Amino acid sequence: MRAIKKRIVSVCVVITIFLLILTARLAELQLFRTESFGSHHINLIEESVKQRTQSVLIDDGRGSIVDRRGEPLSAGVEPSVVLFPFIKSLNWPSEKVASITGMSEGIIHSLVSRAKKPVILSKKDGAELTQSDLTKINEFKFPGVYGVMVQEKPSELSASHIIGYTAEMPVTAKKRYPDKKLPLTMKIGAAGLQKAFDAFLLPESETKLLYHVDANNNPLFGVNVKYIADSSAHYPVKIKTTLDSDMQQLTEKALTQAGIKKGGAVLIDIQSSSLLAMASKPDLNVNGSSSSLSNYMLESMKPGSIFKIVTAAAAIENGLDHPSARYNCNLNPYGGAEEDRQLGSLSFDQSFSRSCNYTFNVLSNQLIKKVPDYMETTAEKMGLVHPVGWQGTVFHYSGFKQFPEEKQGTVWSDNRDKGSPKAVAQTAIGQKDVQVTPLSIANMMATIARGGKGMEVKTAEEILYKNGISMYRFPNSELANVSIDHYTVQKLQKLLRLVVSDEKGTGVRFRTLPFEVSGKSGTAETGRKDAEGHNLINKWFAGYFPSDSPRYALVVVDADTIASKAAANQVFYDIAAGLK
């Protein structure tokens, strides 16, 4: 008997402990950790509401990115009609909705009858709507039928690499914002301007329509739909960029038509040092290859003869640009056997316009004996070594960068190579270890065109509150240590003009444009081959125009291509002609 009582007591104790544990767990779930449960900090209240509601997202609350005229680049709003599924069992005004939207009543009925979640009718579905049409829809006062402005991403993404993209990255989000409790599913900026301005673009709250449902998705409390929105007059903000949508589309079209697979183009407004257009190939595909995620206009690559501008500038500064000097341009870059291109005896100016490698071998080896660090110091003075994108302090964000992915340039990987005449000659013509970004080349052209004053490149003009008032305006900023003296700039301007005006210059094809172009071509050997064994090159053309009153600096690079298919000149021509 005593043993039975003992067993009963033991069972009661176990049951009591179990009930206490269960009670503690329920208390944790329902009282103490309802808004931040588990290691992932799940909001249990929100999740329980989601289980018994259906909703349609009107706006995710994230700030938007617009071009210099205010046209949306990331996401805009479209007049739309929202139809909730429960109306299929009601006598709703489908005929009137069809008349206002311009859509077939049969198609609308079909969409609603098959819907398991709210149906949104907008321009992409064939609904031609205006703001006044939305007013007419809402005047029906029929539950489940609403006219609203719905956030829409552009069907064709323009400036995709510079705008960037967002992604769900909970680990990164926690590191980036340790003091914020962000939902696990919240997308944050992963690249481009979305990443650079992420702290400003983060949503405060969503705008949505929702209603409570039972297990069969029927309304629980009648057919009343709630409209939930943030009433703030300040958020979300807009990032007003310097980009021009028309110029951006022109640039992207030129690259696509020319069939450039890897490379791109950069267009800069010379006077303000503002980015007008930037496009990179291959096109951005978040779910595609890693190469499509790279903005090659911010990546370092071999520039080839574009780098001769640096050697020419150093020669001018050190008095080696003698007009009477002649160079045997039938020789190869190292003064040996004949070059493939037989250019004859050329002056300094002609050597530049016709891109004679041998001349720059002679000059570089003379210069390095006279000034051992001339290449890196001159390249730095011309803005090719350090990042050139706008950076500074914005409110409490120090070191804020408008181009977060921008790489640095390099001239020498090993300073011991300065003792090798062959390595010096290769470096002087943009080979060996020379790596620069297309953005820095474009900015160098702008610096030369504006008279030698180096400026940081801006791609964002200001941050605007929701009501249009400016939160912050990015000032024009000079580039530290980037400046070319007046005499050298004048000589460089003459040389760059000669590349096009010289009947044997490498830019002669641009003489047919309705304005004069100044620039420089470049062909860099990459040391790689394609599947058929052809040598792969980086083909460049960089310049500015009109020569007598410069407005635009433009750089085009066709990377990892073969000589017979290189299309950099064609793209440069098409973009310049389209700008007029």
Neighbouring-strand partners of residue 535: 529
Residue among 361, 364, 380 at smallest CA distance from 372: 364
Distance CA 16, CA 390 (A): 66
Residue among 384, 367, 388 at smallest CA distance from 376: 384
Given a contact cutoff of 8 angstroms between Cβ atoms, the answer to whether 535 and 562 are in contact is yes
Annotated active-site residue in 158, 274, 300, 305: 305
Tokens matching residue 319: 């008095």
Residue 499, C-beta contacts closer than 8 angstroms, at least 6 positions apart? 352, 353, 505, 506, 507, 518, 519, 520, 521, 543
Tokens matching residue 510: 């641009």
Residue among 313, 269, 346, 356 at smallest CA distance from 492: 313
SS3 per-residue string spanning 335-401: CCCECCCCCCEECHHHHHHCCCHHHHHHHHHHHHHHCCCHHHHHHHHCCCCCCCECEEEECCEEEEE
Backbone dihedral angles phi then psi of residue 511, each to the nearest 5 degrees: -70, -15
Given a contact cutoff of 8 angstroms between Cβ atoms, the answer to whether 442 and 520 are in contact is no
Which residue bears the tokens 């098959």? 114
Work out whether the CA dihedral 179, 183, 184, 187 comes out positive or negative: negative
Q: How far is CA 383 from the centre of its chain?
A: 21
Distance CA 260, CA 291 (A): 14
Distance CA 214, CA 234 (A): 37
Residue among 325, 382, 379 at smallest CA distance from 351: 325
Given a contact cutoff of 8 angstroms between Cβ atoms, the answer to whether 10 and 20 are in contact is no
Residue 564 Cα distances to 342, 502, 535, 539, angstroms: 19, 23, 11, 11
Q: Widest CA span of the chain, in angstroms? A: 124
Residue among 354, 320, 402, 326 at smallest CA distance from 520: 354
Residue among 267, 243, 265 at smallest CA distance from 255: 265
305 has catalytic annotation: yes
What is the secondary structure of 170-226 as a DSSP string?
HHHHHHH-TT----TT-EEE-SHHHHHTHHHHS-S--EEEEEEB-TTS-BSSTT--E
Given a contact cutoff of 8 angstroms between Cβ atoms, the answer to whether 423 and 432 are in contact is yes
Residue among 30, 23, 57 at smallest CA distance from 44: 30
The set of catalytic residues is: 305
